[in-house]
Amino acid sequence: MNIAFLFIAEAYQAYHGAAVAFELLQRPEVSVTFYYNDPEVPHHLERIRRAYGVPPVAYVRLARSIKTKAVQAMRVFGLDKEAVLRSNEAQLALHDAVVSLEDTAEILFGDKPAPERPARILIVHGAGDRYVPSMPRRARFDFIIVQGEKMKQRFLDMGIARVGRITAPGYPKLDTSRRLVAAARPLFANDRPIVLYNPHKVRGLQSWSSFIKPMLRDFAAQQDYNLIVAPHVKMFRRRSKYARNRWRSRSTATILIDPESDRSVDNSYTTAADIYVGDVSSQVYEFLAQPRPCVFLNPHKVDWGNDPHFKFWHLGEVIERPDDLMAAINRATERHPAYLQKQRELTRSSLGDTSAGAASRAASDIIAFLDKGAGAAGCSWSASPY
């Protein structure tokens, strides 16, 4: 069984799926080829490989046209993912299955019937409630791996997946982060409680532009907390190195600003923090793998109360004005018991089984699916000449 593991997007996605690939490598009947697009991916794959104690493996850079190389050289234009996929379709077609962490891979192999192409398998990264415009594209995958029953049922209800074509083995990223964070050094030289500010970049929902400057001012003026500012890595992905360094240079002994580092993607901060402050990042569920106080920011005054895409905003106080932030943080611990049971319930349904072994369970589910030849479809993906 020959499986292509496809890292077509930014390097942070390695933490959501590489552990599954390394688990598959341990199975005698499986061979895995790692393909990547972002040149930063191998560094992160190596971190994860070493954490799992897996022997060295080769990572294959996806072929790129001259045009794509030019586009990628201008960081602001992104990774040109669809063009890269088309350039590598023939190579990927030599495998029995292509596992992707990114919806974009649905374009592979066009509308060829299942027996005439590799299986398309998606590992959904992130466990949030927010609606993603590309979500309908996921229906083109033959097998989908989500974290918990909440997303599994949502996909079934929406017709994105069918029974037998979707599984919820837990959150593989937790397996990886536990191995990496265990060896991490303290983030601050004092024992103050740590507040994590983890904004997303989604237009119309992001809190950064309204909150970051007053937040830094207010935290600089107090002596009760440390602050970590760790935006979703895509916020600074297309910005200049100068811009990233300019923000990083504003760090102090009690304020750590990290626009882009290993720790911003491996759960170091969600593990270390005592209080979470954010808007719509699904990383809140990674923080809530161990329930703790949360404060959510709604500067755009979204009518969220009955919107299922904002379920997690019911897990802490929601504020709209920067002037209210410090007071909300100060009372977050006292108010936490009122949210604790709801945090446990929603996190369990979002992340699924949080015990160790999610990556191994996901690997087993992939093998079982491929061995069955996609069940009712009666086709087999084990006949590749590769």
pLDDT digits (tens, 9 = 90+) for 245-288: 899 999 999 999 999 888 988 999 999 999 999 999 989 999 99
What's residue 215's pLDDT?
A: 98
Separation of alpha carbons 15 and 24, rounded Å: 15
Say yes or no to pLDDT of 367 above 60.
yes
Separation of alpha carbons 23 and 57, rounded Å: 13
350-385 burial code (b ≥16 CB/10 A, e <16):
bbbbbeebbbbbbbbbbbebbeebbeeeebbbeeee
Asked if 273 and 196 count as a contact pair (C-beta separation under 8 A), the reply is yes
- The architecture that CATH gives domain 2-171+353-377 is 3-Layer(aba) Sandwich (3.40)
CA dihedral 40→42→47→51, nearest 10 degrees, is 150
Percent of the chain with pLDDT over 90: 79
Say yes or no to pLDDT of 95 above 60.
yes
Q: 24-28, 77-81, 192-196, 342-346: which has the minimum mean pLDDT?
A: 77-81
Average pLDDT value for residue range 302-315 = 94
CATH 2.60.120.560 fits 189-351, yes or no: no
What's residue 383's pLDDT?
A: 34
Q: Map out the domains of the chain as residue ranges.
A: 2-171+353-377, 189-351
Q: Categorize the per-residue pLDDT at 76 as very low, low, confident or very high, splitting at 50, 70 and 90.
A: confident
What's residue 125's pLDDT?
A: 85
Q: 27-31, 57-61, 236-240: which has the minimum mean pLDDT?
A: 236-240
Separation of alpha carbons 300 and 319, rounded Å: 10
pLDDT digits (tens, 9 = 90+) for 19-55: 999 999 999 999 999 999 999 999 999 999 999 999 9
What's residue 255's pLDDT?
A: 98
**Could you tell me if residue 126 is left (phi over 0), alpha (psi between -120 and 50 degrees) or otherwise beta?**
left
Q: Categorize the per-residue pLDDT at 75 as very low, low, confident or very high, splitting at 50, 70 and 90.
A: confident
pLDDT digits (tens, 9 = 90+) for 315-329: 999 999 999 999 999
Average pLDDT value for residue range 164-176 = 94
Q: Categorize the per-residue pLDDT at 183 as very low, low, confident or very high, splitting at 50, 70 and 90.
A: low
Which of 192, 379, 176 is closest to 268 using CA atoms?
A: 176
Separation of alpha carbons 148 and 127, rounded Å: 8
Q: Categorize the per-residue pLDDT at 134 as very low, low, confident or very high, splitting at 50, 70 and 90.
A: confident
Q: 75-79, 120-124, 159-163, 373-377: which has the minimum mean pLDDT?
A: 373-377
What's residue 105's pLDDT?
A: 96
| Two tokens, residue 178 | 């536990």
What's residue 241's pLDDT?
A: 79
What contacts 110, CB < 8 A, 6 or more positions away?
Answer: none
Q: 182-191, 309-318, 351-360: which has the minimum mean pLDDT?
A: 182-191
